[in-house]
Amino acid sequence: MKFKIDENLPIEFAEMLQAEGHDALTVVAQELSGSEDSLIGEVCQQEDRILVTLDLDFADIQTYPPNEFPGIMVLRVGRQDKPFLISVFQPAIRLMDRETVANKLWIIEETRIRIRG
């Protein structure tokens, strides 16, 4: 699978996905830092990449309908320190072996993962 890691997440997310054999690029590496959400969404559609982000705006299914995107994974957490974010994302990587991400909205929380779409 192909992923785009938003600028609000650690680069380690891309490294973790790459270690599992996925293609992962960061918004920062593509010089898209500070871009509007709509542009990030368009780039993900054009590149057929699943967006991984902390930006809760991407959880709005009216603005970002899951069936129109390669996939959206939004982390909804109370803390944003790097070790904590990594620990919350690791179960999602394991779950991708059993659940589809394509055209879905994944809400990744501290104790559960909800999948819509």
The two tokens of residue 6 are 């938003």
Domains of the chain in start order, with CATH, are 2-116 (3.40.50)
Kindly report, residue by residue over 56-113, the tens digit of the pLDDT: 999 999 999 999 999 999 999 999 999 999 999 999 999 998 999 999 999 999 999 9
The pTM score is 0.94
Kindly report, residue by residue over 31-55, the tens digit of the pLDDT: 888 889 999 999 999 999 999 999 9
Name the β-bridge partners of 93: none
